[in-house]
Amino acid sequence: MARQLSFWALVALIVGTQIGAGILGLPHVVAPLGPFWGSVVLFLGAVLMASTAVMLVEALYLTNPRYHYFDLAEHYLGRLGFLLVLFVVFSSYFALIAYVVGLGDVLHAIATHYGFPDLGAAGWAVLSWALLSLVVFAGLRVSGAAEGSLTLFIVLIILTIVLWALPHISFPSVQRLDFRAFTVAFNVGVFAYFAHVIVPEIIQSSRKLEKTVGAIITAFGLSFVLYTGFALAVAGVLYGNVPEIGTLGLVNVVDPGLAILALVLPLLTIVTSYIGVGIALVDMLNEIIRNRAVSWFLAVVPPLVVALSGSAGFISSLSIGAIGIILAGGILPAVLFIMARNERRRHVLPVPTWYAWLSAAIFSLILVYSLFAAL
């Protein structure tokens, strides 16, 4: 049994899981939408993802609060529950592709800005990939205390950038809704909000239904405020010229002290995200293959090959990876929620069943459109 955590410790755990490299792409995808539609898409993503996380809570409470997410999927879907693993594996691969590309771009920007010997984006990508992949192979996880401190440091950097940007934000007065841009922004937002795999840990660390649900809603609300403020701040300063990793565009328009933060933020978030996702992917593959060395090779080598091929960029990889998250964090929780209610013939939360169907339908429409766009 996990140790019991306070309400705010639970909130911090969820927010810490959410805040990673996904936030870096938000300014780029929000810029074409402007402040109104940009806020709408991030709010919609937060509401829908928070809703399905809450649905997952009820499904676990009705079935077995000690289950992991994968146990729950297997309970109701049998062997089809294995699809959940495939969805997360799919998303993890594209996340790693984005991280390799992003590391190359960030380290190249650091080298050129400060006059260090430069290996080029591809060279830095290979070097950083090699070092971090060794860390993944060793399975060196960040301790809980260190991870919490790092999350707080990252949040402080984000707030510093937002406060600096406030007087400099400027958007065109007329904004039109572009559905394709809206979908891309929604996908990247969904990627940034995803924290459903730790919902069982939240339940076991809370031990109270109301406390669990309250922590989830509060955490998603805080992430929405942080994501929206950061995305609009960076996009408003760089409007019309926002790079895929938003803060890299700030380096030449801010004072030297803030330029360091604009470079440190993506470096920290991508490095920690690569290690966390990489280790999780190796663990998942090892459950299937039962050979850790082979699992490690299959986890880290394909993303490098794709990244170096130039066929996938930072944003496109996050957007495609979000397809797996739409399935694992959007559609599947709603399905399990409905199946749990049907099996147990009762409910523990005042969430209408029709709302679960509606959210699953919205995620399904976004998924279909994203697949067609990707093809």
pLDDT (tens digit per residue) in 162-171: 999 988 888 8
2 falls in which pLDDT band (50, 70, 90)?
Answer: low
208 assigned to some structural domain:
yes
Phi-psi region of 140 (alpha: psi -120 to 50; beta: other; left: phi over 0): beta
Four-residue CA torsion sign, 141, 98, 296, 129: negative
Segment 136-140 mean pLDDT = 87
53 assigned to some structural domain:
yes
What is the pLDDT at residue 234? 94
Output the pTM of the full model: 0.92
104 assigned to some structural domain:
yes
What is the H or E stretch that residue 78 is in?
A: none
Asked if residue 141 has pLDDT above 80, the reply is: no
Asked if residue 1 has pLDDT above 60, the reply is: no
85 assigned to some structural domain:
yes
Asked if residue 375 has pLDDT above 90, the reply is: no
Higher-scoring residue by pLDDT: 4, 11: 11
CATH number at residue 25: 1.20.1740.10
Structure tokens of 242?
């926002």
Q: Mean pLDDT for the chain?
A: 91
1 assigned to some structural domain:
no
2 assigned to some structural domain:
no
- Number of domains forming the structure of the chain: 1
Contact between 4 and 205 under an 8 Å Cβ cutoff? The reply is: yes
Higher-scoring residue by pLDDT: 339, 239: 339
311 falls in which pLDDT band (50, 70, 90)?
Answer: confident
Digit-coded pLDDT (tens) for 72-112: 999 999 988 888 888 999 999 999 999 999 999 999 999 99
211 assigned to some structural domain:
yes
338 falls in which pLDDT band (50, 70, 90)?
Answer: very high
Q: Which domain holds residue 364?
A: 7-374
Residue whose token pair is 């559905």: 179
178 falls in which pLDDT band (50, 70, 90)?
Answer: confident
Q: Which residues contact 146 (CB under 8 A, 6 or more apart)?
A: none
